[in-house]
Amino acid sequence: MTRPIRLPLLLAAAAALALAPPAAAAEAERASRILSVGGAVTEIVYALGEEDRLVARDATSTWPPEAESLPDVGYMRALSPEGVLSVAPDLIVAEEGAGPPETVDLLRAAEIPFVTVPDATDAAGVLARIRAVGQALGVSGKAAALADEVGAELHAAVAAAEAAPGAPKRVLFVLSTQGGRIMASGTGTAAAGIIELAGGVNAVAEFEGYKQMTDEAVAGAAPDVILMMDRGGDHASSDAELFAMPAIATTPAAEARAVVRMDGLTLLGFGPRTAEAVTALSEALHGG
């Protein structure tokens, strides 16, 4: 089954975003000590060629590799005022959800401009993010050009995914197997968004966000493929451990030993590399 490609409409919607007023743009152009918070924000700053203005980044900002040489102010949802103020930013550009709120309030009280970049779970969101970062940095023209380039790449990647042969695969994104419990994605998440863009079907539609699922619910979802982030630590599990779990063992994915692991920031970042993620996931789902 194929779905109509709506990228031209999405591109038009993103292009309709208002540009920064002249005064705001001038202020952004003067910002020379920028703190980027969120992996996608940092990737966009680099893609815009404005990385020389960065003085620090958060722990999720690991791409491109050069970003890791910047001072790290900590995890984006657990920022401390002291850590942020220690790098003396004159502009903070952060993904939605950065915090905690008390830290954000203190930084704003210190009169440090704090720009929030909206979350994204679809193609239009990627382009809107690019334009929002460009506006914050006072380089809306460069952002428009980058959005056009990324939009064309996304259009091609989605078209190729939709043209892939065979029935769409039912995909269960597993965030964690810690403690033997399956934490999986429902609707309205970055995982659900990337699965759809890659031509798959999110196996869970009964809830929004990420939740723990019972063994019966996982079996009932009947995924053809398990999708996970490629990472270590308490949230990781080997293929053998994964398919031995009672919740997974009876699924078509276990029978086919079908699991796809991808870098988390590439897969779920919804930044400039989203077309790359769509292509890689589509090829993995369809055996390309």
- pTM for this predicted structure: 0.88
pLDDT for the residue numbered 17: 34
Contact call for residues 128 and 14 (beta carbons, < 8 A):
yes
- List b or e across 52-71, with b for residues whose CB sees 16 or more CB atoms inside 10 angstroms: ebbbbbbbbbbbeeebeebe
What are the pLDDT digits (tens) for 115-171?
999 999 999 999 999 999 999 999 999 999 999 999 999 999 999 999 999 999 999
Instruction: Give bridge partners of residue 260 from the DSSP assignment.
Output: 227
Tokens of 17: 């975003």
The alpha carbon of 221 is separated from its chain's Cα centroid by a whole number of angstroms, namely 24
Instruction: Give bridge partners of residue 115 from the DSSP assignment.
Output: 93
What are the pLDDT digits (tens) for 192-219?
999 999 999 999 999 999 999 999 999 9
Cα end-to-end distance, the chain, whole Å: 18
The residue count of the chain comes to 288
Domains of the chain: 7-159 (3.40.50.1980), 170-286 (3.40.50.1980)
Reported as type and span, the H/E element at residue 47 is helix 39-47
> Reduced to 3 states, what is the DSSP secondary structure of residue 122?
coil
pLDDT for the residue numbered 231: 72
CA–CA distance, 126 with 95 (Å, rounded to integer): 12
What are the pLDDT digits (tens) for 27-77?
555 799 999 999 999 999 999 999 999 999 999 999 999 999 999 999 999
Instruction: Give bridge partners of residue 211 from the DSSP assignment.
Output: 184
Report the share of the chain in percent with pLDDT over 70.
88
pLDDT for the residue numbered 18: 33
pLDDT for the residue numbered 16: 35
The alpha carbon of 52 is separated from its chain's Cα centroid by a whole number of angstroms, namely 23
Mean pLDDT of the chain: 90
Q: Kindly give, in sequence order, each residue whose CB lies less than 8 Å from that of residue 233, ignoring residues fewer than 6 positions away.
A: none
